[in-house]
Amino acid sequence: MNFELVDKKLSSINADCEIIFVVNKNLDHKFVKDSSYFKRVNYEGAEDSICSVISEGRVYVGIADIQNTDNIRVASAKAISALSGYSFESIKVGMYIDECQKRAIRSMVEGFVLGDYAFDKYKSEKAKHPIKTVYISTENYTDVKVDKDSAKKAIDSAIIIANATNLTRDIVNTMPNEATPKKVAKYAKKMAKENKVDIKIYDKEYLEENNMNAFLAVSRASINEPKLVHMTYIPTKTKAKVVLVGKGLTYDSGGLSLKPANFMTTMKADKSGASAIIGIIDAVAKLGLEVEVHGILGICENMIGGNAYKPDDVLVAKNGVTIEVQNTDAEGRLVLADCLCFAQENIQDFDYIIDFATLTGACVVALGEYTSGIMGHNCTLKHKLLRAGEASGELVATLPFNKYLSKQLKSEVADISNVSSSRYGGAITAGLFLDKFITKENKDKWAHIDIAGPAYVEKSWGCNPFGASGAGVRLTIKWLEQLLKVKEEEKK
Ligand code: BES
Ligand code: ZN
Ligand code: ZN
């Protein structure tokens, strides 16, 4: 799909089809043309409702307002997927902008690219992507003057970010018999090579030599050996340094604390944290953001077998902390514990360290399927991530730590247990477990993002299809952009 910014009225642009958003049920707006048809079919332009007037080559989508730019993103995605069954090759659309033009235009283009996504790797009949060109007219809903340079930049960024999100979706959706740890490391390598990002892939021997015993224990029963990936993006000019750490369980059967059958399906998506980081670095490199980004991926498979790690085992993590295993299904925190130690020991003077993980079902219970949970000690950092959520359209909420929940991780035999003594607050106690592996000087640099809900949803929602959403990609890019903007302003 190509995008062209056209400085002409919509009526002077030739295209097979036009997309029109009905804002706040305003059917009297100059963009709306088929009023008599609407009367006939009783279309009122209600939020999210679609009316296709195919014979005229027009599709309408209702949106509540254009101030919340995620409405535009979702409507664009809906419009594109409504058109996927037709043979229109070109479409035209106006701009829905008022104050923040860049954000609104970016939302629209992201919506088109995200809505055009289809995962058809395993289908004999492939999805058709008929639309080749999208003409974006400078004619706009509120008749404001358009800054063409910034509009062009917004379009370019949106394409990069949405494609990176789709890359993450592809990796997460790939079946576990194909996407083994070795293969996921290869996906990272492909992305790195394409973007001239430095990458190191470590195997089992490296983990053994470096005492990453918690990570090793989780991966031991699988015939597919673990991989630890370290990607480094260094821009020509650097304003900040950020470390991203991702849980990459290519399958989580639960291990000996085996998951019931109906909870095991979808656990191919337990690699969503690592997959998000591959997408994030792809976008950061293509956007040329002035931030050094390190991506650490802990990739392995949690399986059963004669040599599987067991409930009652005590593991010694990379930093020497001993962990009593009480449930082998709480494996993500074990992998992340060693990866967080690896990151803090091997990367110096970073500003932030953020981990992404489909860590707990409890987070999904707490926040619902669509929202990621943000945890950490630094309130400013959490606040900034919340703001990035709002601006990117990703739903996020913070979950608060407290010292009482922390005590529930006590073990009688080791320094810490891998599960809490109470099932309440399970998302937070998982975050507090990770906290034990964050050094004192890094406490305020760290945030943990539990993406267990939105990373993979078995129905379409918003601008997302059935399956992987690419959770974390848009959020993190927005956070990095806002971080760089602040640094820029500080310099002035
Ligand atoms: N990968 C799961 C968490 C998960 C659940 C992700 C649902 C996506 C959707 C994780 O490894 C896990 O099994 N966690 C356990 C922890 C428990 C044993 C303390 C859980 O949430 O039940
Ligand atoms: Zn698990
Ligand atoms: Zn897991």
pLDDT band at 465 (very low <50, low <70, confident <90, very high): very high
Q: What is the pLDDT of residue 340?
A: 99
Q: What is the pLDDT of residue 492?
A: 82
For residue 153, pLDDT beyond 90: yes
For residue 376, pLDDT beyond 90: yes
Q: What is the pLDDT of residue 220?
A: 98
Q: What is the pLDDT of residue 491?
A: 83
**Ligand 1: which atom is nearest the Cα of residue 332?**
11
CB 361 within 8 A of CB 459: no
Show the 3-state SS of 231-244: EEECCCCCCEEEEE
Residue 63: count of CB within 10 angstroms of its CB: 25
The pLDDT tens digits of the residues spanning 237-267 come to 999 999 999 999 999 999 999 999 999 999 9
Q: Which of 353, 310, 351, 354 is nearest to 334 (CA)?
A: 310
Establish whether 259 is a catalytic residue: yes
Strands 322-324 and 416-417: parallel
Paired tokens of 326: 């009480």
Mean pLDDT, to the nearest integer, of 24-38? Answer: 95
For residue 99, pLDDT beyond 90: no
Q: Which ligand is nearest to the CA of 422?
A: 1
Mean pLDDT, to the nearest integer, of 283-289? Answer: 98
Instruction: Return mean pLDDT, the chain.
Output: 97
Q: Using CB atoms within 10 Å of the CB of residue 314, give its burial: 0 to 12 exposed, 13 to 18 middle, 19+ buried.
A: middle
Give 47 Cα–ligand 3 centroid separation in angstroms.
36
Q: What is the pLDDT of residue 488?
A: 87
Q: Which of 102, 186, 190, 259 is catalytic?
A: 259
Paired tokens of 10: 């919509």
The pLDDT tens digits of the residues spanning 411-432 come to 999 999 999 999 999 999 999 9
Percent residues over pLDDT 90 in the chain: 98
Q: Which of 215, 259, 335, 360 to mutate to test the pocket of ligand 1 (most atoms within 8 A of CB)?
A: 360
Q: For residues 489 and 476, what is the distance between their CA atoms, to the nearest angstrom? A: 20
* Whole-structure pTM value: 0.98
User: DSSP secondary structure string, 53-71?
Assistant: EGGGTEEEEEES-SSSHHH
Mean pLDDT, to the nearest integer, of 166-174? Answer: 98
Q: Whose CA is nearest to atom 8 of ligand 1?
A: 452
Three-state SS at 14: coil
Q: What is the pLDDT of residue 192?
A: 98
Q: What is the pLDDT of residue 74?
A: 98
Q: What is the pLDDT of residue 98?
A: 87
